[in-house]
Structure 1
Amino acid sequence: MVGACGLDRLVGDPRWCLHPVVVMGWWIGTLRGLVEAIAGSRPWALRLGGCLITALLVATAGLAGLWIERFALGQPALGGPVLLVGLASALAGRSLDQAVHGVLNALPNLGLARERLAGIVGRDTADLGEAEILRALAETASENAVDGLFSPLFWMLLGAGLWSLNPSWPGPLALAWGFKAASTLDSMLGYRHGTLRWLGTAGARLDDLMVWLPCRLVAFSLPLALGRGFGNCFASLNLALADGASDPSPNAGVSQAAYAHGLGVQLGGVNSYRGATVLKPLLAPANAPANRATIAKILRINGRLQLIWLALAGLGAFMTKILR
């Protein structure tokens, strides 16, 4: 897993290589068309179809990861590199950094910055000024760190723990790819318009469930990456939970609130989605708005916190081995 994190930071998601998420996306699109053709506009049928898509995709992704794990155990020389690349594909540390820096580098060209921002956020970007673009970047750098980096890392670590207990159980890749399937379902189908109001419910709820604990672990451990003592961890979690409670998402508000208070930046406010205005809770309103420096700091803290998680997991594994 350390090697996978390093490979992700070094290479990211090269365009010339077929990515597992692209394969998942193709299957989601194909199955969505099939379900919509059969279910029509009947909500119950769309919900049932969404459940079937979710179960099929998550199970298939998990089983594919499990097969690679078995291959790596049986043929380490050949399977080991495949397992390494598979684990790296579940992480999005470098791709998040590149996407955020791509928008920053486009400024002050608002047209280009809005175009690049539209590729990584769900809100409308056509009329955003520079201050709102910077706020959107700070929010996506904090929220997507949980979704794209720390959540898959959490499921990898959990899978590694299961694997150490019994190699026949699902391990780090099976759990990480299962999570990526749920995350991809949410990003493609988890919207509240048209048929997706019913079709995307199962995938969105599963993603919320699988991100719930990693999100709160990030809020708890963030002070460690900021160089603060362990005693600040509980206060960080309590602030994030209190401020994030009013957000309709069970995780997005909590993750953004943790970064807002931890890094001293104001987040939240008025957003527009498909032309509809949505008032998001204002997080850490006494702090200054986001700027280039705070966004760069969020990305640096993400990398530092990733190292802390790996170090703590390694320490836990070492202590467990000693106590056996």
Structure 2
Amino acid sequence: MNSGAMGSLLILGAALLDQLIGDPSRMLHPVVVMGWWIRQLRCRVEQWAGEHPIKLRFGGGLITLILVPGSALAGWCVERLLWLPSPWQWLGIAVVTLSLASALAARSLTDSVLAVLNALPPSADGNLEPARQKLGWIVGRDVQNLDQAGLLRAAAETASENAVDGVFAPLFWMGIGALLWMGMPSGPGPLALAWAFKASSTLDSMLGYRTGRLRWLGTAGARLDDLLTWLPCRLVMLTLPLVCPPWTRWAQRVLLAERDGAADPSPNAGRSEAIYAHCIGIQLGGENRYGERRVLKPVLGAGQPTANVHLVRCVLNASGRLETLWLSTFVISQLVITL
């Protein structure tokens, strides 16, 4: 089997494994390791830089230069297990597949959002605290004062935005890694690129805030994450309408999503949510609170129904269909290239 075909099969196996087991709580997750390194490096940089913006920017860039290539190198080293002599090669395949699955979050995202929906009370005057607690585990906004409508909107928004960050962007970079293997079998492949992306994403989630020292310390990681997510986000915008009929509205939905999403300060987050809003038929956006800070996000899909349990489930189901489309495209493309 050539390296390119091996890469596509590993990606397919990883996606299936992710759907089956998600992120097992008893296993050490690579993102946890990345987070530990970020905390250690941040502590050292802040001790050296103090409150000096230029030093903090330089230190943030240094953290990025250490973590992202370091994660890629770790992935490349794990990939070397594939070339173990028989019969140990099967062990290498299993380890690489499991490692690739760790870069995907389809099952964990679905389970987390469904946990919020299942915790909602059956009546309008019921206790919302269980749902607020479960939502607080997966979003950065203040959830304590959200009513049921706010909880449902937040669940829909995190399901749509994190589908790109947690599923489709890693899949995209895995696919690029499989293509690289076709020309250079001994070079970095799907796992190296997937872990490099996860490192940048973890940097953004931990340091990419515009408060305190992080305004300067997190700049490099946030910009790199924006760059690595830019193309996967646009591919989601182009392909999500293909799994959400009627297909005759493909161009209209893409153009409306671009119009609505462009109003968001993030080059990717607003567009991710906007394409789901127009494909599912749900209004997203509005006021969010982050502690004492009030943020007005652009309204996406204005005039469409506000979030409800059914529509949030539709967002999750659409992501599942789109993942199937992407994986099928990977396999068919590989077959066409190798014929």
Q: What range describes the TM-score normalised by the shorter chain of this pair?
A: over 0.9
Unaligned segments of structure 1, at least 5 residues: none
Using structure 2 for the length normalisation, give the TM-score.
Answer: 0.93
- Report 1:17-56 matches (<5 A): 17-56=27-66
Residue 115 of structure 2 is aligned to residue 105 of structure 1: no
SS of alignment partner, residue 215 of structure 2: helix
Q: What is the match of residue 330 of structure 2?
A: 313
Percent of aligned pairs with the same amino acid: 56
Using structure 1 for the length normalisation, give the TM-score.
Answer: 0.97
Residue 198 of structure 2 is aligned to residue 180 of structure 1: yes
**Distance change (3 Å), C-alpha of 1:131 and 1:200:** same
Q: Which residue of 243, 249, 255 corresponds with 1:238?
A: 255
User: With CA pairs under 8 Å and 6+ residues apart, which has the higher RCO, 1 or 2?
Assistant: 2
Q: What is the match of residue 124 of structure 2?
A: none
* 1:237 Cα deviation from its structure 2 partner: 2.5
* 1:165-208: CA deviation from partner (whole Å, max 9, x where unpaired): 22022100000000000000000000010110000000000001
SS of alignment partner, residue 329 of structure 2: helix
Instruction: Please tell me the residue identity of whatever aligns with 1:270.
Output: E
More deviation in 119-128 or 231-240?
231-240
Unaligned segments of structure 2, at least 5 residues: 1-10, 122-126
* 1:228 Cα deviation from its structure 2 partner: 3.9
Q: What is the match of residue 212 of structure 1?
A: 230
- Report 1:68-217 matches (<5 A): 68-75=78-85, 76-108=89-121, 109-217=127-235
**Residue 211 of structure 1 contacts residue 251 of structure 1 at CA under 8 Å; is this kept in 2?**
yes
Q: What is the match of residue 6 of structure 2?
A: none
Partner Cα distance (1:232, 1:213) in 2: 22
Q: Which residue of 287, 291, 295 corresponds with 1:270?
A: 287
SS of alignment partner, residue 277 of structure 1: strand
More deviation in 33-42 or 71-80?
71-80
Instruction: Please tell me the residue identity of whatever aligns with 2:112.
Output: A
* 1:108-166: CA deviation from partner (whole Å, max 9, x where unpaired): 23111111111111111110000000000000000000000100000001111111222
Partner Cα distance (1:82, 1:236) in 2: 40
RMSD of aligned alpha carbons: 1.1
* 1:246 Cα deviation from its structure 2 partner: 0.8
Partner Cα distance (1:37, 1:172) in 2: 36
SS of alignment partner, residue 41 of structure 1: coil
Partner Cα distance (2:236, 2:36) in 1: 31
Partner Cα distance (2:183, 2:241) in 1: 31
Q: Which residue of 19, 22, 46 corresponds with 1:12?
A: 22
**Residue 107 of structure 1 contacts residue 113 of structure 1 at CA under 8 Å; is this kept in 2?**
yes
**Residue 114 of structure 1 contacts residue 128 of structure 1 at CA under 8 Å; is this kept in 2?**
yes
* 1:232 Cα deviation from its structure 2 partner: 4.2
* 1:253 Cα deviation from its structure 2 partner: 0.5
Report how many aligned residue pairs link the two structures.
321
SS of alignment partner, residue 289 of structure 2: strand
Partner Cα distance (2:196, 2:271) in 1: 23
Partner Cα distance (1:261, 1:77) in 2: 44
**Distance change (3 Å), C-alpha of 1:74 and 1:237:** farther
**Residue 190 of structure 1 contacts residue 200 of structure 1 at CA under 8 Å; is this kept in 2?**
yes
Instruction: Please tell me the residue identity of whatever aligns with 2:162.
Output: N
**Residue 216 of structure 1 contacts residue 237 of structure 1 at CA under 8 Å; is this kept in 2?**
no
Which runs of 4 or more aligned residues in structure 1 lie more than 4 Å from their structure 2 counterparts after TM superposition?
A: none
Partner Cα distance (1:234, 1:166) in 2: 37
SS of alignment partner, residue 300 of structure 2: coil
